[in-house]
A and B are shown apart, each in its own frame.
Chain A
Amino acid sequence: MIDTSVFQLVCFYAFAAVTVAAALGVITLRNTVHAVLSLVLTFFSTACIWLLAEAEFLAIALIVVYVGAVMVLFLFVVMMLDIKQENVREGFIKYLPVGIVVALVMLGEMLALIGVRSMHQAVMGADPAAAAGMSNTEWLGHALYTQFLLPFEIAALILTVGVVAAVVLTLRQRTGVRHQQAAQQVRVNARDRVRVVKMAAEVPAAPLSAPGKETTP
């Protein structure tokens, strides 16, 4: 039977070492896809450390938002950057070993976490959320909307600036662009499109001169 606190300490150091190693990988690996996978591992290990500290909401948010959405988007962008049709399948095989390594490390971390959890012990000091009889998420919400209301609102303001900046830097109002106007297309009548004109049949005039010397009107 191993001492539970020692096991937690070992887990913490293992997660921290993986985080640092993966973060180093992000900036040193030459292959961009490997770098992105390394970044996924960094986020995942950070989330594991947060879970050790019983900050469940933050850990899950990090995984759902960053690993789940942002990093997958990154991966798409990186893979799309210089795409050649015949290389896609080859790329899948090439990146598979690194992907498997990342996945195995993640699996190991998850198993370690489950091990820590099964020992039922507070990890890093007293948890104020538990002391107040609230769940971690509830506690976070309370803190954000009472004690940290002002910073929360300033962060909202920063996001507004981000939106304004993104619009002003990318929106281009081009003039003279031809758009389809669906409403007008639907409302059109056959009369507007085809006009039947009655006119007398014309007799073709005899050529005045030899071909090639014609004078156009």
Chain B
Amino acid sequence: MPNLNDILILLPELYLVVAACLLLLLDAFMKAEQRPLLHWLSIAVLLVGVYLVVEGQPSQAVTAFNGMFVRDGVAEILKVFALVSTALVFVYAKPYLIDRKLFLGEFYTLTIFAVIGIMVLVSAGNLITVYLGLELLTLSSYALVALNRDSRLSSEAAIKYFVLGALASGMLLYGMSMVYGATGTLSLAQLHGAALQTTMPHLLVFGLIFMIVGIGFKLGAAPFHMWIPDVYQGSPTAVTIFIGSAPKLAAFGMAYRLLDSGLGELSQHWQLMLACLAVLSLAIGNLVAIVQTNLKRLLAYSTISHMGYLLLGLVNAGPEGYAAALFYAISYALMGTAAFGIILALARAGFECEEIDDLKGLNQRSPWAAFLMMLVMFSLAGVPPLFGFFAKLLVLQAAVHAGFMWLAIVGAVFAIIGLYYYLRVVKVMYFDKPVEGTEIRLQSDVSVRLVLSLNVLALLVLGLSWGPLFGWCQRVFVG
């Protein structure tokens, strides 16, 4: 039976559930013009969540509810950054949502429910918790993608996302049921020990393959990346920015829980599979991004290549690699929110700022926006001394140390190829002439401008002093 201790371990999640339900009720009884209050309350709810996660963090890993839930350092760092990046999403999304008459309370509550799903997923100690956390996250995401229900593109994206997501969940469940059949346990901790003693090693590896397919879908790694471009392009940008940030942290958490906590003893099997996924993602992501003209699609393919780099870290299958991959996931979450945040801040009613050509001559119209976008693009490309450079460096290093020299070389080559399309955006902003008769400027909302500037400058600051954050990433995997 659960006792008080279990409840205390789960306090941040329980608090968020209660807060989300209260926000839902508040929204139902609130007039439309009072909704900005809901916006600020939601941000406050997330920030208090960060406080509860950090404040109540036990010194050692603890489990609750019969090992269903694990609260350790990995979960803590992932939760902190998931909550922070979601708070950033809320700040950037407000003017966009108001302009498009999508400023609904449900946007906030569904996003918070998705964050609860992320928190459950990264803390999972059992295959059932992994699955349920994932479903909570993805179901909320499907609804968010379809939020703009009068747009055909948005509905199409939602249907594609739903069908492929359901397929991926099915694959994951097949994998889990086979692993359960081979070992007789659902608990990840027991699975770790039972994996080597099973009498049915082939069934276990078969299950592992299915689980990797599921993980690949959720990460958006090639060849399971088909949904990413359409969903990124089709959903309202305010939703794209969420899907492109915090769920990536969740996908890393899921991969870590399943592959290391659960099937870490089988690492010689999954290392090569992940290496294949990584090479394909790097190739498809970087090469297809070159021909894109839509900024959101370009960033979608860029996501696929970034997930390839994240997999390079996981391929290491040791504390060093996990730390590098975690660092990469965090850097991508911050870069993704910044990149889509700028698109959101440049969009206004009737103008999405989706095409790369929309950015023509941005430097003459709004030099600060162009400068911010340039920093983000350089960081995504991995130009020193920005955050993205060190993240890439660390995962490449992890791959080399694991004996995957060829993989690191592939990664480096594709980083150079990728530089082209990021630089193209910078070229369009700085060297092309603005189109006559168009107007493009940053949103006048002070909070958006301030937080966006801070977010982008954080990429520079974290690039210059990445030591403390990486030290935190390393510590959680050592203890």
Q: Is A199 an interface residue (CB 8 A)?
A: no
Known: A158-B132, A164-B106. A151 touches B140 (CB 8 A): no
Q: Which listed residue, B2, B128, B142, B146, touches A151 by the CB 8 Å rule?
A: B128
User: Could you give, for residues 145-186 of chain A, a 1 whenever the CB lies within 8 Å of some chain B CB and a 0 otherwise?
Assistant: 011111100110110111011011100000000000000000
CB–CB B143/A165 < 8 A: yes
What's the Cα separation between A5 and B1 when bound, in Å?
38
Q: Is B109 an interface residue (CB 8 A)?
A: yes
What residues of chain A lie closer than 8 Å to B113, measured between beta carbons? 157, 160-161, 164
Q: Which of A161, A164, A165 is most buried by chain B, counting CB atoms within 10 A of its CB? A: A161
CB–CB A157/B2 < 8 A: no
Q: Is B451 an interface residue (CB 8 A)?
A: no
Name which of B62-70, B324-332, B376-384, B442-450 contacts chain A.
B62-70
Residue of A nearest to B149 (CB): A169
Residue of A nearest to B140 (CB): A161
Known: A147-B66, A149-B2, A164-B143. A154 touches B110 (CB 8 A): no
What residues of chain A lie closer than 8 Å to B146, measured between beta carbons? 169
CB–CB A161/B69 < 8 A: no
Chain A contact surface mostly: helix
Known: A151-B129, A154-B120, A154-B136. A164 touches B2 (CB 8 A): no
What's the Cα separation between A146 and B68 when bound, in Å?
12
Q: Which listed residue, B64, B106, B133, touches A168 by the CB 8 Å rule?
A: B106
Q: Chain B nearest CB: distance from A160 CB in Å? A: 8
Known: A164-B106, A164-B110. A155 touches B132 (CB 8 A): yes
CB–CB B132/A165 < 8 A: no
What's the Cα separation between A26 and B325 when bound, in Å?
42
What residues of chain B lie closer than 8 Å to A150, measured between beta carbons? 2, 10, 64-65, 68-69, 129
Known: A155-B132, A164-B106. A149 touches B65 (CB 8 A): yes
CB–CB B135/A158 < 8 A: yes
What residues of chain B lie closer than 8 Å to A151, measured between beta carbons? 68, 126, 128-129, 132
Q: Chain A nearest CB: distance from B15 CB in Å? A: 14
Give me the interface of B with A, judged by CB distance under 8 Å.
1-2, 10, 17, 21, 24, 64-66, 68-69, 104, 106, 109-110, 113, 116, 120, 126, 128-129, 132-133, 135-136, 139-140, 142-143, 146-147, 149
Closest 9 CB pairs of A and B: A165-B143, A150-B65, A168-B106, A154-B132, A150-B68, A151-B128, A161-B113, A161-B139, A161-B140
23 A–B pairs (Cβ distance < 8 Å), ordered by A: A150-B2, A150-B129, A151-B68, A151-B126, A151-B132, A154-B120, A154-B129, A154-B133, A154-B136, A155-B132, A157-B113, A158-B135, A158-B136, A160-B113, A161-B113, A162-B139, A164-B110, A165-B110, A165-B143, A168-B106, A168-B110, A168-B143, A168-B147
